A and B are shown apart, each in its own frame.
Chain A
């Protein structure tokens, strides 16, 4: 099996599960976090002993809301990660809710080795935050960025959402500008997507909420892209922008189809076997079941699939084209490549290809071309 240099840890707890969220997240289950951390530490430990993994170039602690962990709990998780081995200069990211970004927490995170923080700002508009059911204000979010920076973080990401009902183009750009004014190194702008199993999904189905149409969504997207480009951010993935040198290395690794290990409830892993086939596996979703299983055996895999070399190549191309600085991932598909270039969805770029503006708007159509 190819050696793994990336690790993802999932912390599935939130103070409140927002109505649009379809991640594997649960409202804080009283008293469950300590046992969960024990179980997760156990899983990391066992994986470290059994898999060809490390030294780690990237670690990403996501959720849920990992910033809910106490400093002690975070250290407990980082101990087995340290045993796997962390490469010098590794990127270690923690996702944080603005409400949790306090001076004490920031000190503790840095001490535990975290060097990149990703803050869920989402919006600075009070109406939008209420609509999204966020428990923090816009001012809280700005304060969180400042606290992180003041505490010593020099690699900060802000997550923003566009296409929120009731937020017009000007309102959206206000949020973008305000976050840029704080000098963040990285910005992710996601379209608010209606997932059928969420409460938002239900509200849309019953007609309670009307989502903006495709034209409005794209207008906000491209307007933000223009702002960010003017501010010298590189648009390196469909929903991601970074100052030079600050692209998220953890995500880049997976978009470049590098193997990674995921630990924690519902976490996914991707391994590349010696025969060139790709294995994806995923853990048990529910935190109770996960704790039971991982504490007992250190192993919580719920399912897996192995992709043929050909199917894996298609998947690699499907993801690879999302990287806007160009990719070679489609070189195994010359016919599709030619067709997509002719259709104006892909453009030649330094021997590889990259999505055109229209290609970005129809990226799924492009990705699907590589699947059989």
Chain B
């Protein structure tokens, strides 16, 4: 099973979301006989139920393939499939750090999009050799020639290196594999040197503990050695090393350049940190590998069990989920309105949505998520600076010297016809225009400096709808900037609901308050009594709406068989009510807490 280092390759597949990288990965697995066609299910590498259902990749996946190339040699190709959505770019970064090359997939009808560029930049930062592929050439609206030209002009890869493919039809698979063995350099590490293996992912297995995904860069990882984590200093005896084919398959060792996993009875995922370097405690390497950039959560929201008895379960579920999702951070939070829960940090809205869905599905919880917010930096009159990731924790105005908010550099790629719409939208969202670049294929790249808070408030949906779905977005945090912000409070039934508070631009605050009150009126179901909804800025009411009391709910007839029917109906309604959160004596549905996200 052992392959000489010069015949080993480690690659990733990178692409904008939906350009077909997972389908392409499936074809590669099939072509190399890694997965027999009869075992092939759509999206072999998407293992989470949620991934298959949504047709997206959330977690990076690793697999080893053996490929007999035209030169007669059998190569070992380690493939790491990566997610395409902007929220999960950290997964991409982790995967790329463990690779020597990347297959860049671009859709033949969509061309280069925002995440195509972002991923290419990351790949270049990691000095990866890029194999460009134009995919979906069989589609009627495909224009492979134009996309090839675009790749040369925008990314700077020679047009003649571009491979035309259709992952769906299996066109170009062999050419891609040949290009990988020909173009991507073999690993350079010395199998005899002291061990240095990079941890690029970790999963929790209920029976085996933490399964650590590694790429060995130098030396050899063997079963039985004492693995030492160079950052934490902790060491564990390695019970098993193995590779992914794509299921876990134990092997004797992993040598320099190879990708696989180790199991060492690690019970706490914090002891297996992504980015850390594994070495041999008996013969440690002098220095660790450079880790990759630390993942910082961009948006924050509270997660509360609708049934307060589930608090402990939620806590345990978050601990377990964090084992598989290093980007998730959380700490306990207490809300006057919602009780005990957790303030969680996410990479973006999709990440948040997926975490909540996984918690509910995989751990059988019913949760209420509050509207996401960014982290503000508040400078106090006493000179102190405090981070605020929860609007309700904003100090009182008299204590505040200034508030800064996170600013991102947003890159929008859009057909020229929609440039006006994009500019207008970005202007409305306090965007500061920076640059326009016209690319071939009627493509325009716009760059803006924008408050992140504006992006998480429905910006992406608006971007899509105002460009008929053509615009794509990527953004990165560039710093903090002072802004004129105020806290908008919401009172339901006369009592303030902390979980509905938001921090908004002062000039738009009153209007936002009115819209929020109007929206809440449509979202809060009628109760037994009238429910006033008020929006307030600094104690001053700026908007008021009223949910009228429920007028009538009575069944005229209740005889014989009606009783069973009625009981079942009422029981069902009651079940539905469990999704509502009782705040004071008002029952508020989940959607109400998200109302602040789309006030336009």
For A238, give its contact among B551, B556, B563 (CB under 8 Å): B556
Q: Map CB proximity to A onto B554-567 as digits: 1 under 8 Å, 0 otherwise.
A: 11111111011011
B551 touches A218 (CB 8 A): yes
Q: How far is the CB of A7 from chain B (nearest CB, A)?
A: 12
B483 interface residue per 8 A CB criterion: no
* Residues of B in contact with A, size category: 20 to 34
The distance in angstroms between the C-alpha atoms of A368 and B576, with both chains bound, is 12
The distance in angstroms between the C-alpha atoms of A260 and B563, with both chains bound, is 13
For B557, give its contact among A190, A254, A315, A362 (CB under 8 Å): A190
The distance in angstroms between the C-alpha atoms of A254 and B559, with both chains bound, is 8
Q: Which of B550, B556, B563 has the most CB of A within 10 A?
A: B556
B193 interface residue per 8 A CB criterion: no
In the complex, residue of chain B having the shortest beta-carbon distance to the beta carbon of A315: B567
The distance in angstroms between the C-alpha atoms of A106 and B559, with both chains bound, is 26
A345 touches B528 (CB 8 A): yes
A318 touches B564 (CB 8 A): no
For B550, give its contact among A254, A318, A365 (CB under 8 Å): A365
B553 touches A364 (CB 8 A): yes
B552 interface residue per 8 A CB criterion: yes
Given the known interface contacts A318-B567, A371-B570, A371-B574, the answer about A365 and B553 at a Cβ–Cβ threshold of 8 Å is yes
A362 touches B553 (CB 8 A): yes
The distance in angstroms between the C-alpha atoms of A234 and B298, with both chains bound, is 67
A266 interface residue per 8 A CB criterion: yes
Q: How far is the CB of B390 from chain A (nearest CB, A)?
A: 32
Q: Give chain A interface residues in 156-187, CB to chain B under 8 Å.
A: none
Query: Chain A residues with Cβ under 8 A from B559's Cβ?
Result: 251, 254
Q: Map CB proximity to B onto A71-112 as digits: 1 under 8 Å, 0 otherwise.
A: 000000000000000000000000000000000000000000
A190 touches B573 (CB 8 A): no
B353 interface residue per 8 A CB criterion: no
Given the known interface contacts A266-B561, A282-B561, the answer about A238 and B554 at a Cβ–Cβ threshold of 8 Å is yes
Given the known interface contacts A8-B560, A268-B564, A318-B566, the answer about A343 and B528 at a Cβ–Cβ threshold of 8 Å is yes
B247 interface residue per 8 A CB criterion: no
A361 interface residue per 8 A CB criterion: yes
The distance in angstroms between the C-alpha atoms of A188 and B554, with both chains bound, is 15
The distance in angstroms between the C-alpha atoms of A90 and B274, with both chains bound, is 82
For A318, give its contact among B552, B557, B570 (CB under 8 Å): B570
For A362, give its contact among B552, B556, B571, B574 (CB under 8 Å): B552
Q: Give chain B interface residues in 535-593, CB to chain A under 8 Å.
A: 550-561, 563-564, 566-567, 570-571, 573-574
Q: Map CB proximity to B onto A1-44 as digits: 1 under 8 Å, 0 otherwise.
A: 00000001000000000000000000000000000000000000
Given the known interface contacts A362-B528, A368-B570, A371-B574, the answer about A190 and B556 at a Cβ–Cβ threshold of 8 Å is yes
In the complex, residue of chain B having the shortest beta-carbon distance to the beta carbon of A161: B556
Query: Chain B residues with Cβ under 8 A from A314's Cβ?
Result: 567
For A268, give its contact among B558, B561, B566 (CB under 8 Å): B561
A193 interface residue per 8 A CB criterion: yes
B551 touches A319 (CB 8 A): no
Query: Chain A residues with Cβ under 8 A from B570's Cβ?
Result: 318, 364, 367-368, 371
Query: Chain A residues with Cβ under 8 A from B560's Cβ?
Result: 8, 254, 260, 262, 267-268
In the complex, residue of chain A having the shortest beta-carbon distance to the beta carbon of B573: A368
Query: Chain B residues with Cβ under 8 A from A262's Cβ?
Result: 560
A362 touches B561 (CB 8 A): no
A53 interface residue per 8 A CB criterion: no
For B563, give its contact among A218, A239, A319, A362 (CB under 8 Å): A319
The distance in angstroms between the C-alpha atoms of A214 and B560, with both chains bound, is 26
In the complex, residue of chain A having the shortest beta-carbon distance to the beta carbon of B570: A368
Q: Give chain B interface residues in 383-439, CB to chain A under 8 Å.
A: none
The distance in angstroms between the C-alpha atoms of A218 and B553, with both chains bound, is 11
Q: Which of B528, B561, B566 has the most CB of A within 10 A?
A: B561
Q: Give chain A interface residues in 326-372, CB to chain B under 8 Å.
A: 343, 345, 360-365, 367-368, 371-372
A275 interface residue per 8 A CB criterion: no
Q: Top 5 closest A-B pairs, CB basis?
A: A268-B561, A214-B551, A214-B552, A368-B570, A363-B554
Q: 7 A–B contact pairs at CB < 8 A? A: A217-B552, A218-B552, A254-B560, A314-B567, A318-B566, A361-B551, A364-B566
A interface residue numbers (CB < 8 A to B): 8, 190-191, 193, 214-215, 217-218, 238-239, 251, 254-255, 260, 262, 266-268, 270, 280, 282, 305, 314-315, 318-319, 322, 343, 345, 360-365, 367-368, 371-372
Beyond A262-B560, A345-B528, 14 additional contacts (C-beta under 8 Å) are: A190-B557, A267-B560, A270-B563, A280-B563, A315-B563, A318-B566, A322-B558, A343-B528, A364-B555, A365-B550, A365-B553, A367-B566, A371-B570, A371-B571
